[in-house]
Every structure is written in structure tokens, then in C-alpha cells.
Structure 1
Amino acid sequence: MSWLKFWTLHIGISTWRWLKPIVSHIVAWVVPIYQLTLCRVVFIGVTGSCGKTTAKELIVAVLSSQYKGHKSPGNSNVLGEVIRSILRTRRKYHFCVQEFNVGGIGEAISLEKQFRMFKPQMGVVTTVGDDHISAHGSREAIAAEKGKLIAALPTSGTAILNADDPLVLAMQSRCKGRVLTYGLSPGAMLRAEDIRDSWPRRLSLTVMHGEESIRVQTQFCGAHLVSNILAAMAVGQAMGVSLQSAASALEGLAPVPGRMFPVESPDGVTFIRDDVKAPAWIIPPVLDFIRRASAKRKIIILGTLSDYKEGSPSSIYAGVSRQALEVTDYVFFVGRWASRSLQGRGHAENHAVQAFVTIDHVNGFLRGFLKAGDLVFIKGSRADQLSRIVSGWIQKPKRQSGVVELDLVSAVRAEDVDRTLEISTDGALRDRRVSQLVVGLGNPGHRFEQTPHNVGQWALELLAESLQANWSEVGGWIRGEGSSARPTDAVGETSDHDEPRWAMDAAAGRLNKIERAGLCNPS
């Protein structure tokens, strides 16, 4: 049966390779013919380094107040997605909004084919940033690729351009049709004034077009979303939607999940999820939002940063850590480069900056840390899966009282070692009744105290303090007679000398000997 499946799959793949060019030619012939039947549909393309998805959703909301239409489900740079979007558009529709993402060089070549297939009649460009800058080399090169959308417009087409971004505004020279600009600049045709977004207040602004103005109250968070709102209202103006109708449509629109998306938990902790992408150049407006926010405690959790033009991960993460500390109470990093952020905390005793390897570690810490009234801002990429922090909190087990260090204490108290251990003056373990053996691994020595190099000793000190035990040194070990719920002994290696008795490299061998001797088992 397995051979039959193999040959069936092999024949199927071979057949598809043979048929694919034929199917492509048929599609390339059929789709333009079908598109001719969509004579009253306005095809709208949206691109930009940031805000494409939000802008697309806002555009659809504004246009849907007066018309019926279709939108692309995502921003995949695949010609097939554009073809499907066209084929799903019906003759009764008035618009089709397609999101385009400029990726690497090869994808840019495919982008031209997509524009030829899509035949946009309106093009919206939000901004030009550093996304994919390693592939293109400069923002100017990225702008040249995004500008191909504007160049693809017909003479009857309309370009909707961000007047606050010089690289976007310069694209008007590539437009054969009319241009409609938006932004905060006095020269913008559609502009915003009196912007208010201090959390917990939601974003509101006054939109002006010529002699007309209107106050727009939204459900969104963050002043950096103003340009997306203006872009949507500019598209509405080009399609005959009044400012009043556009404002009414936006007032009831919920934020896009994962993009400045607030989540309020029943126990009073509020999360704001911005966890779809995290280019380094977008961090400043995020920090501005947090600076203006009001909360008992402000906490930011960051994942993997991307698309930074220069500098090492150490300098980038440390720099962001320092900037974040100026506007928040606590800064937590999670992921591969998280430890680099610790260089930005100023001194080793500044525990306001923490680094975690995995999301599970973050969730374990937050269970004993977050309180009602906290505002937790989450910034990362989709690959970081930081949304699990929110789901982990909402679905968390029954909250334990006390600080997070007590989790270690609970573990020590909860388990018994059915062995008797004795600590001799030469450091050897012999029979004597104790409850637990705890070994703190690290690099002991005065120069390593309170650093990540010796987190084991740090944890033992917290454990000793929490257990309120009487500790004494015997033969290079610390032995404690517990004075809390029941007599408890915790044992950990230590040394008063600059060099440890057990070097980190030798610790595994020594612990293996203890285990083989049957004196304790790792738990």
C-alpha cells in the first residue's frame, strides 16, 4: 500500500508539472476576459511598509457604508491569490480591495505580474519603512518597488498618497491620473487635527477636507493609526462617500486582531496586542503611545525585532530596552535575543528589565506578577506567537498568592527525598536525614554576583530568604534548618572564594556521581 501511495503521489506531481504551464496560460487568458464583465467594479490596490491590513479593513468599512464589494483575505505575494480575488468578485459589486506586500527581489518581479493581472484603478500607499531593507538596500529602493502600483494606474485612475512621507509623496510623479493626498501636513488635501489617544481613551480626531470638517471617534488605539484612517476616508472621497458617512462607518469598527488590539481580562489586567510584526523602526510610535497612556503600572513585552539597518542585536535590543524604560515601569523581552536587552538596564540590580527564553517562562512569571490595573503592551512578530501570553493569562490556573519566587519554595516543600544525606567537612555527602537537595548552578564569585552568570546562587538566596531558614556553611556547602511549615533542608554549592569549588564545567560530573551513588535523584 505504501508503494501504491508513493507512485500515485509521484505520478500526480509529474502530471502537475506538465499541466502547470498549460493551466497558467488558460488562466492568463480567462481572467482578463472575466474581468471585462466587471465593468463597474473599481479595483483598489493597497501597499506600504506598515498599516496595509488596517488600511484595507478601514477602506472596506468606509466603502461598505454605501456599496457592496470584496476584499482580499491576506497579503500573500502569490499571483494565485490575486487571481482568486478577481474571480471571487461579482458583477453586482462596486469595489475589490487587494493588499500587496513588497518582499524580496524575486517577489518584486512577481509583483509586476500581479499588477498587470489585477489592473488597479486606484492605488493607496501608506508609508515606506525599513521592512525588507536587507533585500533592497535602502528605503529609496523599497519606495521604487511600491511605486510600481501607482505607475500601473490608468489615466482615469486615482493615487491616494501619504503627504507626511516624502518618499510616498514623490510617487505622484509616476501617476498618470489624479492624485489625492492625506496626512498631517498643511498641504495635504485630507488632513487631521486635534488628535487624542491617551489610553484608556480611544483614538479620536478632526478630519478636514477643503471647507468641510468632521469629528471622528474610533475604537482604535494609537495616534500612528491616523494615517490609515485618513487613507480610508480619502478613498471614500474618491468613490463619492461623504465624510459624515465615512465617520459613522469608522465609529463602530473594531480594531484588527493583533494590530493595536486591546484585550481586557475579567481580573482587571488589560493587554494591547500588536504582535503581527515588529520592525525596529516602528518602535518609537509604540513607545509614544505608552508614554501617553494612563495605568497603575505600564509593562511592555517585546519579542523578536526585525529590519534594523545597522548595529548588532546587542546594541539594538539594549537601545530599545533603555528607551522603553523611560516610558514604562517594566520591560520584558522574550526569545532568542532577549538576553541582549539586559545590557540596557543600567546596573545589575535593576530588575525592571527581564529576559525570558520561552513564552511558557513569561507566562509562569506573569501569574504571580500582574495585578488589576496593569496595562501590558505586547509587541512582536507573528512567528513569536506572543498572543499566547494573552491566552495564557486568561486561561491561567488559579492564581497563587505571593511573588513568583515562591513557586520554587512550593516545589521544595511539596517533594520529599526518601534518602538520608549527611554533609561532611570535606564536602562529601553521607547519610543524614534531609528533605531536599537544591543545587544552584552558575559561576560563583564576587564579580558574578547578581548577574545572569550566577542566577543559580541568586535563586538559592531568594529561596533561603523565603523559607526563613537558618543557613550555615559546611565543607563548601550551605545547609539550612527550615523554620517554616515543616523542617526543610536545602543544600546548594557555594564558596567564599573568588573561584568556586565546583567550576561550572565540572558541575555535571559531580552531580552525576551523587546520582549514581543513589544519594538523590533529579526531580
Structure 2
Amino acid sequence: MDYATLISRLCLLSAPLWIALIGRRLYYLARYFQLEGYERARFWRWYLRTRRERRFTALSAAILLAINLLAILPASLLSAKYAEAALLLFGIVALSMLVFWLRMPRDPQTKQPFKRTPRAMRLLITALLLGAALPLYYHGMLILNSSANYAYDLPLLVIASASSGAVPLLLAPLLLPLANALLFPYEESRRRYFMRKAAQTLRGSGATVIAITGSYGKTSTKHYLHHILNGRFRTYMTPKSYNTLMGISRVVNDEFARDPYYDYFIAEADAYFVGENAAICRLVGPKIGVVMSVGPMHLERLGSMENIIKAQYEIIQALPPDGVGFFNGDDPHVLAMAERGYPQTRIVISQKGAPCARFEALDVRFSAEGTAFTVRDNASGATCELFMPLYGETNVTNALMAIAVAAHLGMPFDEIAPRVATLQPAEHRLVRHQLPDGTVILDDAYSANPVGTKAALDVLALHKGSRRRIVISAGMFELGEQAEAANRALGAHMAATATDIILIGAHQTAAVREGALAAGFPPERLRTVANLEEATAYYRSILQPGDALLMLTDLPDTYAV
């Protein structure tokens, strides 16, 4: 076998290896594209802010440039030894492929694994076909042409072969958005089909739809309302955090449709852009709308507080004239919605004495065991003493809203009270565990907003009898221009309520650290770690019987370094 044939065959053998590298890279990136909701701009923002991605891009570009620079070496350096030079170049390329494989970014944490949904797999396969097109085309041409044609250009053959694989590898972050754009007409037609199917199922079920929205509090309120109403009615709620247009459609088509005969359907609605809640309402057709809060959550996506208010109010605008709107009167933005005068029946709840409140929580008392308060219906004058095994001021508002809706739907207080006494917190939302040795674990990993984090820290402060009060936090995210000030305030409140602070991620918790230290927190009691695994290992090494530990906010995969 002559050199030309050997080198051309080696190049051909490298083609599937390049495609495997491209496929591995795309599979890794597809998870983040999915986590960012298949939004091109958000995906690229993640890509540009992630240090491991920038490093790999720089490495890939440097290797590709170095290989191609070899093509401009003076011919005198390669004369009469083109074959030997080509073999050397192929060795360099093979080494480069090994470097690509070893240095390709890996997930520092995987809280939300890649969901191999039909859409995700279509996207991944399309992106892989785009990425494989160049190496397949080049090496296909190599097969069609006799290797003898390359006898005097073997080094260039090797360089071109390597470039045909390295270029798509370098451009992999562009391939997923491109594949998504190409698939858009098909995906949009499927989306509309599933939405029509879900809407028909809901309309045919006869269930009264209750839509709940808010910057925070909506998931807990949904759970509490579902639990209370189930004491008398057959009630279905969208599970977990299925609160987007397609998420709700999927739940209706895959689960609700199996047995659609319910009295009430509770839908949680979340908006990432103005118009999304309106679209959700066109899907579910609510008769009752609940607005819990307006805050800076998703400010990065919605752009302004005005847009957040507009998005939340879409739930109320979608109600029929004979519908009922429920409003949290302790939030001035939400109270202003009630004052707009639509619909005719508007019910306000409050635990802080809002003058127009129909339902109030009075004499609220917090303890390490739970929360006690008196609920009063100002329309009838009826009152009831309640206790719930829940913690924090926010949970009083959430439970009061659920009580108000249930009372409006015909449940008397004496029927509501035992249901409230057995309420359980939603997953990772201020869940309290007490270990046999007296150690208390407060799991509030989902609280990533200023109100929720403050309430959780206030609950930690109730454990004054604990030996130490330790808080673990990754800070707050998606707060836009308010992020730095909000995280500084978070740090200051940690300093006032905790004895030890563990922060996850130096970059994203810098403002939290500054806020805590500025408030006089001793620096030797504040530790910053790289990830949740390191934080877990550290607190386990220091946790002792009688301590109280608060898991406050979790680090999203898209912010892990």
C-alpha cells in the first residue's frame, strides 16, 4: 500500500470519529438549550457567560488555526517528503482529536437532566445532520476521487480532512438554534394541534377552571387550594411546576384526559413574556383568576416591572364578566389590579389590614411547630381559629388565598379548618425536617425571590434554641438590574438571622457576600464553595446535634461554572 492510499484511508477513518465528537458536543449543549426554553438569545447568553464554554471555544479555535497554519509552510520544508509530512500531520490531528475529547466541557452538576422528548430528539438529530454535513461531504468526495490525485497534496488533504470536522465542532453552539429555526414550521403545527386537543378536552370535561399566577407563591397556593377543595370536591391541579402553555397542554392531553370528570381544574400560569398568560387563558378558559404577587422574578426575560404587571393582569382580563378575581391586597401592585374594577366580583385577601379586604388573617403567631392565626370573613363576620404545620409569612398569604377561594366556592370555615391543619408544603418550599438528635433541616431550595428568601430566614431565626443557625445559598437569579441590590439585601438579612453562611459560587454570590460582611457578619463564619456537592460535604463535616440548617435557594444548572 502506497503512502497516498494509506493517508487517504486514515482520513476516511477519522470521519466517523469527528462526527462522534460533534454528536457528543451537541448532546451536551442540547440540555442547556432545553433548559433555556429553546430560546436562542437566552442560550447564547448562557454560552457567553459560562467560563468553561469560553475556554473550550478558545482551545478549539487555537487548534483549528494551528492546523491550518501548517498549510502555508514553505514548500521547501516538505519537498520530497510530502508523504512523511502528511503522516506527521495526521498524528498531530489525531492528538488534537484526543484533546477535544478530553477537554470537552462536562456538566458540573445535573439537577435537571436532558429530557429526551420527541421535540428534543428531533432537534438533536437535525443539528447532528447539519454538523455532520461538512465531514460527510468532504470525505465522500475523497472516496469518489482516486487517492492518486492527492499524491502531491497529501499534507493539504490531511489539513482539509481535519478542518471539515473541527469547524462544525467549533460552531456547535450555532447548530442547535439553526436546527430549531429549520424545525419551527413543523413544531408550530404540532404545538397548535396539541393545544386545540387540550382545549377541547377541558371544555368537554365541564370542570370549572381556576387560574393562579404571580411572581411567587403560586405553586404553594395551588397545592393548598387543591388539598382544601378535595375535602368536598373532585379537584385536579397541574402537577409540579407545569405552568407554561405547552406544559399545561401536555398535562391535559396525557393525564387529565384519562379521567376528565372533575369539579375543578387548578392551573398554575407563569409568564416569560407579555401575552403568555393570555395564551394560557385561551387554552384553559378560567372562570376564577388568582393573582398572588408582583416581583422582579423573570425580570431579565420580561424586561421591566411594567411588563411583569401587564403579564400577571392578563389572567384577570381573560375572565368572563361573571367571573371572579382574587387579589393579594398586601401587594400594592396586585391591589392596584383589583382597583381597576374588573370583573364585577373581586375578592381581596390580606394579613396586613388592607381596608378593602374581604378575608383577613389576624393575630398571626409563628413558632417552630407551625403557624396559628384567625381568619375572618369581613362580609359575614364569621371567624375561625386555624393552625397549620407551615412556616413563614408568605405561607400565611398563600393559605389565606386558598381559604378564600374555598369559602367562595361554598366550603364553611369549620370544614376548611381540618383541611388547613393537614396542609403540607410543596416540594423544596420551606419544608421542615427534625432529626432524632434535634437537628432541624429547613429545605427552601426553590425560594429564589426577595420575599420568599426573607420569609425563610425569618423562620430560621425562630430556632433561637439551636446551637447554630446555618444557611446555604446560591443567591437569587433572573432579577435583572435589581439583582445586585436584592442580593446585597439578602446577605444583610443572613447576617441578622444566621450564625454561619455557606455560599455556592463565588461569582454569582459576590453581592450576597458583600451584603453580609457590610452588615458586620464575621468573615471567618462565611465560606464560599464551588458547587452544591462541595457545600453538602462541608456542612456535613460541621453539622452537630441541635443545629438548624436552612437550604436557601439552589444553583440552577445554567449558572453552574
Q: TM-score, normalised by structure 1?
A: 0.65
Select the residue among 491, 495, 517 that pairs with 1:345: 517
Residue 459 of structure 2 corresponds to 289
CA contact (8 A) 1:321 1:331 kept: no
> Which amino acid is 2:410 matched to?
G
| Partner residue in 1 for 2:337 | 171
Distance 2:226 2:240 in 1: 14
Q: Is the 8 A contact 1:65 1:249 kept in 2?
A: yes
Correspondence for 2:245 among 56, 68, 79: 79
Distance 2:534 2:195 in 1: 51
Q: Which of the pair is proportionally richer in helix?
A: 2
Q: CA deviation at 1:142?
A: 0.9
Answer yes or no: is 1:360 the counterpart of 2:515: no
1:323 and 2:521 correspond: no
Distance 2:386 2:471 in 1: 28
SS at match of 1:351: helix
Residues 75/382 of structure 1: CA separation in 2 closer, same or farther (3 Å cut): farther
Q: 1:300·1:332 contact (CA, 8 Å) conserved in 2?
A: yes
Structure with more strand by fraction: 1
Tell me the secondary structure at the aligned position of residue 278 of structure 1. coil
Which of 354, 358, 367 is equivalent to 1:189?
358
Query: Which of 368, 371, 374 is 1:206 aligned to?
Result: 374
Q: Tell whether the 8 Å contact from 1:345 to 1:352 is kept in structure 2 after alignment.
A: no
Map 1:228-377; keep pairs closer than 5 Å.
228-280=398-450, 282-296=452-466, 297-308=468-479, 310=481, 313=484, 317-337=487-507, 338=509, 341-343=512-514, 344-345=516-517, 350-377=523-550
CA distance in 2, matches of 1:25, 1:369: 53
**1:56 aligns to what?**
222
Deviation of 1:62 (Å):
1.1
Q: Is the 8 A contact 1:85 1:98 kept in 2?
A: no
Task: Confirm or deny that 1:97 pairs with 2:266.
Answer: yes
Cα shift at 1:332: 1.9
CA distance in structure 1 between the aligned counterparts of 2:187 and 2:302, rounded to whole angstroms: 30
Residue from 130, 136, 141 that aligns with 2:307? 141
Q: Confirm or deny: 8 A CA contact 2:474 2:504 kept in the other structure.
A: yes
* Residues 46 and 382 (structure 1), Cα distance of their counterparts in 2 relative to 1, 3 Å cut: farther
User: Residue 206 of structure 1 aligns to which amino acid in structure 2?
Assistant: T
Shift of 1:154: 0.6
TM-score if structure 2 supplies the norm length? 0.61
Preserved CA contact (<8 Å) 2:291 2:334: yes
Where do 1:421-500 residues align within 5 Å? none
Aligned length: 377
Q: 1:32 to 1:129 in 2, by over 3 A?
A: closer
- The AA in structure 2 aligned to 1:354 is R
> Does the 8 Å CA contact 2:294/2:333 hold for their aligned counterparts?
yes
- CA distance in structure 2 between the partners assigned to 1:162 and 1:301 by the alignment: 30
1:267–1:207 Cα change, 3 Å: same
- Match of residue 316, structure 2, among 131, 150, 175: 150
Offset at 1:274? 0.6
Q: Tell me if structure 2 keeps the 8 A contact 1:341–1:355.
A: no
CA contact (8 A) 1:159 1:178 kept: yes
Q: CA deviation at 1:183?
A: 1.0
Superposition deviation, residue 287 in structure 1: 3.0
Structure-2 change in CA distance of 1:79 and 1:204 (3 Å): same
Task: Summarize deviations over 1:271-320 as a string: whole Å, max 9, x none.
Answer: 1011014124543333333333333222212113224454775x665553
Query: Helix, strand or coil: the match of 1:345?
Result: helix
CA contact (8 A) 2:191 2:246 kept: no
Match for 1:220 among 376, 390, 393? 390
Please, which runs of 5 or more residues in structure 1 have no aligned partner? 387-523
Cα deviation for residue 118 of structure 1 reads 0.8
| CA–CA distance in structure 2, aligned partners of residues 170 and 348 of structure 1 | 38
Tell me the CA shift for residue 165 of structure 1. Answer: 1.3
Amino acid at match of 1:287: L
Q: Percent identity?
A: 20
1:29 to 1:351, Cα distance in 2 relative to 1, 3 A: closer
Q: CA RMSD in A?
A: 3.3
- In structure 2, distance between residues paired with 1:53 and 1:292: 24
Q: Aligned AA for 1:181?
A: V
